């Protein structure tokens, strides 16, 4: 995604929002009326649902990997009644095809803030219990290999699915799940490593449209049906309900996308703007289909059936939901969206959505890729040194960030804290330096191979390392140890002195001892003599102090470190004069 505000602001704002919601609309199943879309169960399940009495902090991991490995969700089928938009309530049935682990006596689904009324397994009522974070299903007879679980539930979502007005005052509903807030509006195995196909049946008031992942199956009166046959992670599984103006931008990835909407072989690229914002949408997204074509050629086949760019209420500048990217409502309405956010979210369709971080601690394999290849697109299409400029700006952010004291691969439990300069620009810098180290042919070959191998799956830093090593024949263990698994970057202090006929240039690494000594990195120096002559030289960093000896040509006027912006480093003193 792209970040709209500073990380701390996002987190604080979210917490305030949740706290306020908890007070004003505590979950109350009795207040929810039955609808035709939701048959009332004839037998009361045991035990009865206890009121949801606690509000977990969104964005913090609660379950261990062992616990959540107890099941694999294969498919989500969500029937959601949103006809009472003004009341901000939903009625829903979630039907999940699930494969529990062979020895499981229960399965736990993540489910927060809404109340389940009844649960069926393979058509029969089954015992369940609900805590503040978990819906536990515990059948007396255990499980078969795969089961179909139906959960009837409803209430006012406190997070994950947001009700609110569009700029014209019309109600809207948009999901915003990252990183683990899907559980606030549907029972799920809400972790990036468990991907599933999904279908949606959403009932809305007259005049409203529904956008979701995958392809539009059909519209029948007030009911919209969408379906994705590509497995996606729960955090990108979304619906959006609004009075929208849909416009087609163009076809993309022709012959290189899954069977697409309307039986075509291309992925349709479209905009879904709120009423009144359609013209700006079409104008802003002029190159949206070109981006899909560009990245299809660079990475491999586009992973999804279509790509909708949706004006929404996401808290982020953009959120890369699979095949239905959500953008911040205000920036779109006020016509101040940058094009970079469109490229960034488009890259995520391959890296983030299709190749998903296996664990949040490896978020850079999503955000670093999106950041880097945005700059690559802008550079290829617009020139003007867009890549160089992006890397310089990224380096400034990294050098000035406290996050640099932590490694890029970061096991912190606070997931919103990962939206920092490590995951974004430092992740991009890792790719940029790999490209310099192994060359364009090996680098882009590795990116294609990595996508092909992990498409519709998950990957982590080690998978990136292996792909780059296989393409280049180089051992990159040390590179990743320094740049991904350790904090910091080289802080370089340069001095020069005459020694006979030689000029001795000393490069010291003066970063703190808590940061590694960087070895195997190539530093370019541009030396300008007082005669005006300019020379380029290279030094491989091998220790805390390296030196370069060159024949003297008078006095050194300036030494410029890294003139081509190839190394993540900070020059800690002005070059000598």
Chain residues that interact with Zn ion, rule: CB under 5 A = 1, 367, 370
Closer residue to Zn ion in complex, CB, 88/361: 361
Closer residue to Zn ion in complex, CB, 225/348: 348
Whole-number CA gyration radius for the chain: 26
* Continuous segment of H or E residues that includes residue 164: strand 161-165
Q: Residues, the chain, total? A: 577
Closer residue to Zn ion in complex, CB, 277/374: 374
Least distance to Zn ion, CB of residue 425, Å: 12
Q: At what angle do helices 461-472 and 364-382 cross, to 10 degrees?
A: 50
Least distance to Zn ion, CB of residue 368, Å: 9
Closer residue to Zn ion in complex, CB, 178/479: 178
Closer residue to Zn ion in complex, CB, 155/179: 179
Closer residue to Zn ion in complex, CB, 305/367: 367
Q: Which of 290, 296, 304, 302 is nearest to 237 (CA)?
A: 304
Least distance to Zn ion, CB of residue 380, Å: 20
Least distance to Zn ion, CB of residue 523, Å: 30
Closer residue to Zn ion in complex, CB, 353/463: 353
Report how far residue 562's alpha carbon sits from residue 432's, in angstroms, rounded to the nearest whole number. Answer: 14
Closer residue to Zn ion in complex, CB, 1/109: 1
Closer residue to Zn ion in complex, CB, 418/503: 418
Report how far residue 115's alpha carbon sits from residue 113's, in angstroms, rounded to the nearest whole number. Answer: 7
Q: At what angle do helices 461-472 and 440-454 cross, to 10 degrees?
A: 130
Least distance to Zn ion, CB of residue 320, Å: 6
Q: Which of 340, 323, 312, 346 is nearest to 425 (CA)?
A: 340
* Continuous segment of H or E residues that includes residue 350: helix 339-350
**CA-CA distances (angstroms) from residue 239 to 54, 190, 232?**
26, 16, 14
Report how far residue 200's alpha carbon sits from residue 96's, in angstroms, rounded to the nearest whole number. Answer: 12
Least distance to Zn ion, CB of residue 373, Å: 11
Least distance to Zn ion, CB of residue 199, Å: 26
Least distance to Zn ion, CB of residue 37, Å: 35
User: Residue 448 CB: number of other CB atoms within 10 A?
Assistant: 16
Report how far residue 45's alpha carbon sits from residue 102's, in angstroms, rounded to the nearest whole number. Answer: 25
Least distance to Zn ion, CB of residue 230, Å: 19
- What SS3 class is residue 515? coil
Q: Pairing state of beta strands 134-137 and 147-155?
A: unpaired
Closer residue to Zn ion in complex, CB, 162/424: 424
Least distance to Zn ion, CB of residue 347, Å: 8
Closer residue to Zn ion in complex, CB, 367/562: 367
- Kindly state the tokens that stand for 317: 């500048």
Are 297 and 255 in contact, with CB atoms under 8 Å apart? Answer: no
Least distance to Zn ion, CB of residue 348, Å: 6
Report how far residue 121's alpha carbon sits from residue 176's, in angstroms, rounded to the nearest whole number. Answer: 29
Closer residue to Zn ion in complex, CB, 210/370: 370
Report how far residue 222's alpha carbon sits from residue 83's, in angstroms, rounded to the nearest whole number. Answer: 9
- What SS3 class is residue 379? helix
Least distance to Zn ion, CB of residue 344, Å: 5
Are 114 and 153 in contact, with CB atoms under 8 Å apart? Answer: yes
Give the side-chain half-sphere CA count within 13 A for 523. Answer: 31
Q: Which of 393, 402, 277 is nearest to 334 (CA)?
A: 277
User: Residue 313 CB: number of other CB atoms within 10 A?
Assistant: 22
Closer residue to Zn ion in complex, CB, 115/314: 314
Sign of CA dihedral 465, 468, 469, 475: negative
Number of helices and strands (H, E) in the chain? Answer: 12, 29
Angle (CA) 182-346-457 rounded to 5° is 55
In eight-state DSSP terms, residue 563 is: T
Closer residue to Zn ion in complex, CB, 293/345: 345
Least distance to Zn ion, CB of residue 531, Å: 48
Least distance to Zn ion, CB of residue 438, Å: 25
Are 531 and 553 in contact, with CB atoms under 8 Å apart? Answer: yes
Are 153 and 115 in contact, with CB atoms under 8 Å apart? Answer: yes
């Amino acid at each position: 995604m792209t970040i709209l505000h500073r990380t701390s602001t996002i987190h604080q704002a979210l917490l305030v929002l949740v706290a306020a919601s908890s007070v004003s609309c505590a979950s109350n199943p009795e207040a929810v009326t039955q609808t035709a879309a939701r048959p009332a169960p004839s037998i009361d399940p045991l035990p009865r649902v206890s009121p949801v009495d606690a509000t977990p902090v969104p964005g913090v991991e609660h379950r261990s990997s062992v616990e959540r490995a107890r099941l694999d969700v294969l498919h989500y089928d969500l029937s959601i009644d949103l006809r009472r938009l003004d009341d901000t309530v939903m009625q829903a049935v979630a039907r999940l095809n699930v494969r529990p682990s062979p020895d499981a006596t229960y399965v736990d689904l993540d489910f927060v803030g809404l109340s389940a009324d009844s649960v069926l397994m393979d058509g029969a009522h089954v015992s369940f219990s609900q805590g503040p974070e978990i819906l536990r299903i515990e059948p007396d007879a255990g499980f078969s290999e795969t089961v179909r679980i139906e959960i009837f539930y409803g209430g006012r979502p406190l997070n994950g699915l947001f009700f609110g007005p569009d700029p014209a005052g019309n109600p809207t509903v948009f999901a915003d799940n990252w990183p683990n807030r899907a559980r606030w509006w549907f029972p799920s195995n809400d972790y990036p490593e468990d991907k599933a196909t999904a279908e949606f049946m959403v009932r809305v008031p007259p005049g409203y449209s529904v956008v979701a992942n995958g392809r539009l199956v059909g519209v029948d009166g007030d009911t919209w049906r969408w379906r994705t046959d590509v497995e996606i992670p729960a955090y990108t599984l979304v619906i959006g309900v609004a009075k929208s103006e849909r416009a087609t931008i163009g076809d993309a990835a022709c012959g290189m996308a899954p069977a697409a909407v309307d039986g075509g072989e291309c992925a349709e690229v479209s905009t879904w703007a709120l009423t009144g914002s359609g013209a700006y949408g079409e104008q802003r997204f002029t190159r949206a289909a070109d981006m899909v074509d560009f990245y299809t050629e660079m990475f491999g086949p586009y992973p999804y059936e279509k790509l909708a760019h949706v004006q929404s209420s996401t808290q982020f500048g953009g959120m890369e939901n699979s095949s239905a990217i959500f953008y911040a409502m205000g920036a779109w309405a006020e016509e101040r969206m940058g094009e970079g956010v469109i490229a960034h979210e488009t890259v995520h369709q391959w890296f983030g959505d299709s190749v998903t971080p296996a664990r949040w601690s490896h978020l850079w394999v999503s955000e670093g890729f999106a950041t880097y290849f945005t700059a690559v697109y802008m550079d290829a299409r617009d020139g003007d040194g867009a890549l160089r400029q992006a890397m310089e700006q990224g380096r400034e952010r990294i050098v000035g960030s406290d996050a640099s004291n932590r490694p890029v691969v970061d096991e912190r439990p606070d997931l919103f804290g990962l939206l920092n300069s490590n995951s974004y620009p430092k992740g991009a810098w890792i790719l940029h330096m790999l490209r310099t180290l192994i060359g364009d042919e090996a680098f882009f070959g590795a990116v294609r191979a990595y996508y092909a191998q992990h498409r519709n799956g998950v990957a982590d830093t080690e998978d990136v390392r292996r792909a780059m090593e296989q393409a280049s024949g180089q051992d990159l263990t040390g590179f990743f140890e320094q740049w991904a698994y350790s904090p910091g970057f080289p802080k370089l202090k340069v001095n020069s002195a005459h020694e006979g006929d030689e000029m001795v240039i000393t490069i010291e690494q003066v970063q703190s001892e808590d940061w590694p000594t960087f070895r195997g990195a190539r530093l370019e120096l541009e030396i300008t003599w007082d005669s005006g002559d300019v020379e380029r030289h290279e030094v491989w960093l091998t220790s805390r102090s390296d030196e370069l000896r060159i024949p003297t040509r008078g006095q050194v006027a300036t030494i410029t470190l890294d003139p081509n912006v190839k190394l993540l480093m900070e020059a800690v003193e002005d070059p000598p004069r």
